[in-house]
Amino acid sequence: MYLKDRRFTLITLLLVLAFVLGACAPSATPTPAQPAETEAPAQPTAAPAQPTAAPAEPTEAPQPTEAPPEPVTIQFFYPVAVDAPIADIIKGYIADFEAENPNITVEPVFSGGYGDTYTAIMTAIDGGAEPPAMAVLLGTALYDLINADAIVPLDAYLDQMPDKDAYISDFFPAFLENSTYDGKIWSLPFQRSDVVMYYNADLFKEAGLEPPNSWQSWAEAAQALTVKDGDTVTRWGIEYPSGWPYWLFQPLAIGSGQNIVGESDTEVYFDNPDVIEAVQFYIDLSHQYGAMPEGVQSVWGQAPTDFASGQTAMIVHSSGSLSGILKQADFEVGVMPIPGQEPDTYASVPGGGNLYIFKGAPQEKQDAAWKFIEFLTRPEYAADFSIQTGYVASRQSAYETDAMKSYVSEVPQALSTRDALQYAGRELSVQNLGEVRNIFHNYLQKAYNGEMTPEEAMAAAQQEADAALADFR
């Protein structure tokens, strides 16, 4: 029975195998009654191999990627004009930027000051050489740079920003004064400052003096804090640098009631009675009150050290010197805007440098420069730059960063330099600026040195400035 069942099973298997082999044979060509389009798809001749392990997790199909950007190297010209470790700070920012943008190399070129940087770039352009892709130059250089066809407006880049309006409005308005012309934005604030007065708060307390709030109280405080040993002054009440006079003079004019520059790019008010009165007050601080050195004071670089070492009780200087002064001084440093002529009035003026992109650089370098500008103007970097240097942060949101909040809790003077902006007038910036500024400097210093009366000097300055501006009116 067992053998008979096995024979039956074997026969059955042979029949099944024959049937399968027959089904796998090629089929005949279809006839018109059975179109080929209706045939069932051919069956596989063998079952697919079974996986020997668990199937892998499904993966996304690879997406097409853009070719990596071509490497580009840009030069960045930068002035170093104040007592702060600017070069090391900028190199650190460059390293951060290059880590984010490995295809872009930034080569910094540091020079002594704004004038040196401007001259180096314009000399290269005039000689037919390729200019740097970008630079920090004075905001007041705008008209000269436009007239030289040296820079490009930034609107094409700004218009691509989804938050353009919020980005632009975040810069302090006083700093944007010299960024726009003919409906376009040509530069963005970066290394920005304002004119402030530093005073030795300990000396004021010892003398029972309050911080001055008018010309009169200012002059009297400077007189009271001047110390002499016989005919030798051992401590001045105030040092007021005037080797590069227009900028530090402007708050005196504004505080007197008339800025030296108007709203248009061809308007100056050198011979205005209020301006003349401001010139006279500067002279009176030495001649009438004996509280500061006579004549032109070419002590821009020395004044912060004189103040920190106790050789003067007050100085008028840039907010960009704050960090260096705080590191040197062993007394409480007070910071405030410049007292105005009338009680409880104050004045200041913005200054410093903006970021420019140069037209003569190839387009790929201009594009890379814009990326670096966006990077440098981030609130966290604006805050860090202010913390490390004493410059006023260019963006208002920088003061909302944790780093800045922590800093100003320990260094409240940083808020004083920022708040002085509310009293700031427009910095001198007109067409043919170099010549107009030199004219004003020349005659202002003649008045300071007693070579001409303030009235004579300012009348001559106005006449010559009007002639220098005539072709632009």
DSSP 366-405: HHHHHHHHHHHTSHHHHHHHHHHH-PBPSBGGGGGSHHHH
Q: Is residue 199 part of a domain?
A: yes
Average pLDDT over every residue of 332-345: 98
**Shared-domain flag, residues 176 and 218:** no
Question: Which of 423, 440, 462 finishes a domain?
Answer: 423
DSSP 8-state class, residue 270: T
Do residues 274 and 257 touch, judged by C-beta distance below 8 A? Answer: yes
**Shared-domain flag, residues 205 and 175:** no
Read off the tokens for 223. Answer: 């007189």
Average pLDDT over every residue of 103-107: 98
**Shared-domain flag, residues 125 and 240:** no
- Closest-CA residue to 241 (of 182, 207, 197): 197
Q: Is residue 14 part of a domain?
A: no
Give the chain's mean pLDDT.
88
Angle at 283 between CA 280 and CA 288, to 5 degrees: 105
Q: Is residue 18 part of a domain?
A: no
Read off the tokens for 178. Answer: 């010299």
**Shared-domain flag, residues 215 and 333:** yes
CA quadruple 84, 88, 92, 98: dihedral positive or negative?
Answer: positive
Query: Residue 11: pLDDT above 90?
Result: no
Do residues 106 and 146 touch, judged by C-beta distance below 8 A? Answer: no
Q: Tell me, what CATH number does 132's domain have?
A: 3.40.190.10
Q: What pLDDT score was predicted for residue 86?
A: 87
Percent share of the chain, pLDDT over 90: 81
**Shared-domain flag, residues 234 and 112:** no
Q: Is residue 4 part of a domain?
A: no
Query: Residue 259: pLDDT above 70?
Result: yes
Q: Is residue 327 part of a domain?
A: yes
Do residues 145 and 89 touch, judged by C-beta distance below 8 A? Answer: no
**Shared-domain flag, residues 289 and 314:** yes
**Shared-domain flag, residues 88 and 127:** yes
* CA 405 – CA 427 distance, rounded (Å): 29
Average pLDDT over every residue of 38-60: 37
Q: Which residues contact 219 (CB under 8 A, 6 or more apart)?
A: 281, 284, 285, 288, 289, 291
Digit-coded pLDDT (tens) for 163-191: 999 999 999 999 999 999 999 999 999 99
* CA 368 – CA 132 distance, rounded (Å): 12
Read off the tokens for 112. Answer: 């002594």
Min mean pLDDT across 111-120, 140-149, 250-259, 294-303 is at 111-120
Query: Residue 375: pLDDT above 90?
Result: yes
**Shared-domain flag, residues 370 and 458:** no
Average pLDDT over every residue of 8-34: 35
Average pLDDT over every residue of 198-208: 98
Query: Residue 338: pLDDT above 80?
Result: yes
Q: What pLDDT score was predicted for residue 73?
A: 98
**Shared-domain flag, residues 419 and 275:** no
Average pLDDT over every residue of 294-305: 96
Q: What pLDDT score was predicted for residue 444?
A: 98
**Shared-domain flag, residues 324 and 232:** yes
Q: Is residue 43 part of a domain?
A: no
- In the chain, the number of structural domains is 2
* CA 8 – CA 289 distance, rounded (Å): 135
Name the burial class of residue 24, with classes exposed (0-12), middle (13-18) and buried (19+) by CB atoms within 10 angstroms of its CB: exposed
Q: What pLDDT score was predicted for residue 81?
A: 58
Query: Residue 453: pLDDT above 50?
Result: yes
Q: Which domain holds residue 164?
A: 72-193+351-423
Min mean pLDDT across 40-54, 213-227, 267-281 is at 40-54
Min mean pLDDT across 38-42, 77-81, 131-135, 397-401 is at 38-42
- Closest-CA residue to 252 (of 292, 272, 282, 288): 282
- What counts of helices (H) and strands (E) characterise the chain? 19, 13
Q: What pLDDT score was predicted for residue 19?
A: 35
Query: Residue 39: pLDDT above 60?
Result: no
Q: Is residue 173 part of a domain?
A: yes
Q: What pLDDT score was predicted for residue 22?
A: 39
Question: Which of 423, 439, 464 finishes a domain?
Answer: 423
For the beta carbon of residue 40, count every other beta carbon within 10 angstroms. Answer: 5
* CA 192 – CA 320 distance, rounded (Å): 8
Read off the tokens for 345. Answer: 């009035």
Average pLDDT over every residue of 245-271: 97
Min mean pLDDT across 81-90, 342-351, 390-399 is at 81-90
- Closest-CA residue to 96 (of 405, 374, 357): 374
Q: What pLDDT score was predicted for residue 460?
A: 98
Digit-coded pLDDT (tens) for 262-297: 989 999 999 999 999 999 999 999 999 999 999 999
Average pLDDT over every residue of 195-215: 98
* CA 378 – CA 77 distance, rounded (Å): 20
Query: Residue 234: pLDDT above 70?
Result: yes
**Shared-domain flag, residues 243 and 112:** no
Q: Is residue 121 part of a domain?
A: yes
* CA 143 – CA 178 distance, rounded (Å): 9
Q: What is the reported pTM?
A: 0.81
Q: What pLDDT score was predicted for residue 299?
A: 96
**Shared-domain flag, residues 164 and 306:** no
* CA 398 – CA 378 distance, rounded (Å): 8
* CA 203 – CA 217 distance, rounded (Å): 15
Better-scored residue on pLDDT, 38 or 92: 92
Digit-coded pLDDT (tens) for 111-145: 878 989 999 999 999 999 999 999 999 999 999 99
Burial string for 220-257 (b: 16+ CB within 10 Å, else e) reads bbbbbbbeeeeeebebbbbbbbbeebbbbbbbbbbbbb
Read off the tokens for 1. Answer: 């029975």
Q: What pLDDT score was predicted for residue 66?
A: 57
- Closest-CA residue to 136 (of 106, 166, 157): 106
